[in-house]
Chain A
């Protein structure tokens, strides 16, 4: 699906009409002059969703349900981040039981999201398949395994979230309904199977051929002393940053770019790109992975910290193992409890939170008035934070593939973008590749 415009100089323009196997609509415009990459622009042209504006004036209790609709693939990430931010604003301390259930819910979302990305979106790239259908013809057992892995994640979301489509059970203060023991223990068999299947998947994908593409990233993620971070932690980076979540906006900024409706994010004060996602999480928290995942990470022969985005597929598989193992532990240890939702009083206040969505760090900040109405909302999804880094990566990649035809160049760019698992729809509060050859 590439297109090349005729030129009368040394410039080249390559167009790829649609970046496949990514969420949303986006375009990439590359300008090459005399074999030099002059410009790379990731252009998101989905209409902005104005969710941050939609939330103003709404009761704070509506925020989890509204933000969940930003994304059909990762609604839990939005819900978790907003409830933690609002609870900070209201002075709510959730119980350990609620905290564990929230981690279980996040496990479900990680499992579902990583399962889809690994098996339907990313693995085809490693076998020259243009679609998951081609992959399914070559590896039906593996694809079936992946779909079952994903399905179990969805089932977990149904049980805990109230339904699979945009969960309705998440509330500020906890949950509207606490699951019964039997509802969770019914999942034990599937979770057991899933753990073994996730380990098999990890060993399989770790054996793929990965392009050499180590880059000098600043990787950013939550970091926690005692657990693999999901809902809590300090914000850390591979260059030594360690800050409280409340300091996020002092170190990271969103900025508008003329070629995209999605905001991009940069590190302050240098305004440099940075990298969020599973690779950042594992690089910063590998010792906190579950026992099986940690053991696997040592067996795979990867030099940690890993700075090759193509190996993100291995890291997602490791997180699948972790999510299954943690989910099993929580389910087996689960005891129903009485107070599913901590009460609170509305007060004029402000709160912020960061959690680890499947695609990386997500940040929310809210202000509420004394009637419990939202007066300000800021939502920074992980994909918008990665956009600048994606552009930088493409600038680094392109010189090595310029001698290829336009179609091959487009495919190489798509594969690199896909390793980020971008959710472009989220990033528009998000491929059509056009390379202009001059």
Chain B
């Protein structure tokens, strides 16, 4: 969209310059368009109005004025003016949109969460990853696990970051890899903790964790992944980063343990996807 917008501005600029030398091309305005400082003027209409009347210079001046308004508004959108009280909000919106519309990579990292207490873990991890310069993967936040299904097209590697409650509370962030058993169907997926893999003592867990994301319509992360498998959408590699938590009420702040675990998680993801 950025290129399209830049092209429109360039086109209108060239058009006005050309018309100013030879003739006038009437820049068509919409009802609430350029004269009202619209933030998205349409490209010039194909109906050109040529005039060599004494008012030509005035018309050219008006067109240039309109173009300058358009340019100024678009510049404002790109770099909010200091006096704009909503500048920060607009910048946030644009940054979120930009992050969401990254050119799809083959690796997708999703943080699942909510605004409440330790359930923010997935979202906060995504924010920390977004701030890291190495991150080229697609990064997204999800409020509900089933939104994952929207984003799996073309993805070969999926990392999910989610808060969890259960026996991991004292162990910090843990990584689980979804592994398909030989000659199995989707109903026989197993989660294998990698630490025990390294020790050669694999523990197979049917449903290893009480994932915090299990609240919404009971379509939890594991159900979503099973559904994705049924629909042939499941990426080849799926990794779950489980961040232990214990505070989940609406007014709760995030616990210190959870904050530490989030940092561990981000470091581990960096090591896995960038340093390796």
Contacts and interface: CB of A to CB of B under 8 A. Distances in A.
Contact of B93 (A143, A147, A163, A164): A163
A150 interface: yes
Interface in A312-345: 335-339, 341
Given A22-B217, A144-B231, A180 B147 contact: no
A339 B146 CA distance: 36
A60 to B, nearest CB: 15
A83 to B, nearest CB: 15
B251 interface: yes
Given A151-B150, A337-B32, A50 B250 contact: yes
Nearest to B116: A69
A69 B227 contact: no
A5 to B, nearest CB: 25
Contacts of A147: 149-150, 231
B171 to A, nearest CB: 27
A337 B216 contact: no
Contacts of B32: 97, 335-338
Nearest to A116: B146
A140 interface: yes
Residue picked from A20, A54, A169, A183, most chain B C-beta under 10 Å: A169
A177 B37 CA distance: 14
Contact of A338 (B1, B36, B232): B36
Contact of A154 (B30, B40, B150): B150
Interface string B40-79: 1110000000000000000000000000000000000000
A296 interface: no
Q: How large is the interface on A (under 10, 10 to 19, 20 to 34, 35 or more residues)?
A: 35 or more
Contacts of A285: none
Given A50-B250, A143-B231, A169-B93, A158 B100 contact: yes
B39 A133 contact: no
A165 B97 contact: no
Interface in B135-169: 141-144, 146-147, 149-150
Interface string B184-201: 001000000000000000
Interface residues of B, number: 50
B249 interface: yes
Contact of B96 (A151, A163, A171): A163
Contact of A182 (B1, B142, B217, B251): B1
Contact of A131 (B37, B42, B115, B223): B223
B90 A137 contact: no
Given A49-B250, A147-B150, A335 B31 contact: yes
Contacts of A171: 86
A266 to B, nearest CB: 26
B28 interface: no
Interface in A41-69: 47, 49-51, 54, 69
A151 B1 CA distance: 20
A72 B251 contact: no
Interface of A is mostly: loop
Interface in A386-415: none
A72 B150 contact: no
Given A18-B218, A50-B250, A166-B143, A177 B93 contact: yes
Interface in B105-146: 114-116, 123, 141-144, 146
A176 interface: yes
Contacts of A164: 100, 141-143, 147
Given A143-B231, A151-B150, A163 B97 contact: yes
B257 interface: no
Given A162-B97, A338-B36, A176 B217 contact: no
A51 B230 contact: no
A243 interface: no
Given A20-B218, A168-B89, A338-B38, A154 B147 contact: yes
Given A147-B149, A147-B150, A162-B96, A178 B223 contact: no
Interface of B: 1, 4-5, 30-33, 36-42, 86, 89-90, 92-94, 96-97, 100, 114-116, 123, 141-144, 146-147, 149-150, 186, 215-219, 223, 226-227, 230-232, 249-251
Given A72-B144, A164-B142, A166-B143, 5 more contacts: A72-B143, A120-B219, A154-B150, A182-B4, A186-B1
10 tightest A-B CB contacts, nearest first: A72-B143, A162-B93, A180-B40, A136-B230, A336-B40, A338-B36, A163-B96, A151-B150, A337-B32, A49-B250
19 contacts: A20-B218, A47-B249, A69-B115, A73-B216, A73-B217, A120-B219, A133-B226, A151-B150, A162-B96, A163-B97, A166-B115, A166-B143, A176-B93, A177-B90, A180-B40, A186-B1, A335-B32, A336-B33, A336-B40
